[in-house]
Amino acid sequence: MFSREDVSTFINQHFEPAWEMVRPVPIVRIDFGNGNVSTRTLHGNVASYVCGADGQVVDILPGIYTPAAYTTALARPRDLTAGMRLLDAERRLATLREYHQGAAQILRFAMQPRPNGNQIPQNPMPDVGKGRVELRVERVVAPPQLNQFAPAPRPRTAAELANWQPLIADTRLNESTRRLLIHDRLAAVGAVQPEQIKRWLYRDVLHADLDDPNLGLGDDFFAEIER
């Protein structure tokens, strides 16, 4: 997504981008015998922090989005940050709280079931952690509840990836359940730096505990294969 010209242009025009790797890239090697070894990296989890000039977190986009949804989601915290530049620290903090409280209220309302069925699902796809997401995306194993996208071919081009159904589902999850958790947290904690919130974010929102050396794969990975 970040290598797409439209996304990178939007980021470079409106932000001062910086990248931090929060842990080494996981690598899996499978020995099939007779000298046949498959080695590959696992898909990681990513979070986009929108911060002010002082490094204070304004908002967070969790996970990977479709390109159009990503730039749209970045627009509001971009405008909020620009509007707070002339405010003193106390008023800036109050404005941030109001923003996150209001956004959380809107999401809760949108996620409520309605008779006509026009609402954001509270959990549009199972949020069961990095291990299961890896298994779903790669189809190493396909439990029934995660097999809804199995017939779809793997995307091979940027255009195919932008319209890939699992990515669209992850985007909905990011902009509903996960974002609600983030808005509630940022409204409660007030001024916070990325380093102060990243472990909570990866553990409780993205379900990829940075303090777990196996990132949630561990015994559950082999248990799924055995079944």
pLDDT in tens, 175-221: 999 999 999 999 999 899 999 999 999 999 998 888 888 776 666 55
Of 134, 139, 158, nearest in space to 45 by CA: 134
Instruction: Give alpha helix (H) positions in 64-203.
Output: 67-83, 89-111, 130-138, 158-162, 165-173, 179-189, 194-200
Domain segments of the chain as ranges: 5-226
Contacts with 41 (C-beta within 8 Å, 6 or more apart), sequence order: 25, 26, 27, 28
Point out which residues pair with 57 in neighbouring strands: 51
- Lookup result for tokens 């996208």: 149
pLDDT per residue of the chain (227 residues) written in tens, 0 to 9? 788 899 999 999 999 999 888 887 778 888 888 889 888 776 668 899 999 988 999 999 999 899 999 999 999 999 999 989 889 989 999 999 999 999 999 999 998 887 765 554 444 433 434 443 333 333 333 344 444 445 566 766 666 667 778 889 999 999 999 999 999 999 999 899 999 999 999 999 998 888 888 776 666 555 555 55
Euclidean distance between CA atoms 166 and 26, whole angstroms = 21
Amino acid at residue number 23:
R
pTM of the model: 0.75
Give φ, ψ of 88 to 5 degrees: -75, 170
Q: How far, in whole angstroms, is CA 15 from its chain's centroid?
A: 19
How many other C-beta atoms lie within 10 A of the C-beta of residue 127?
15
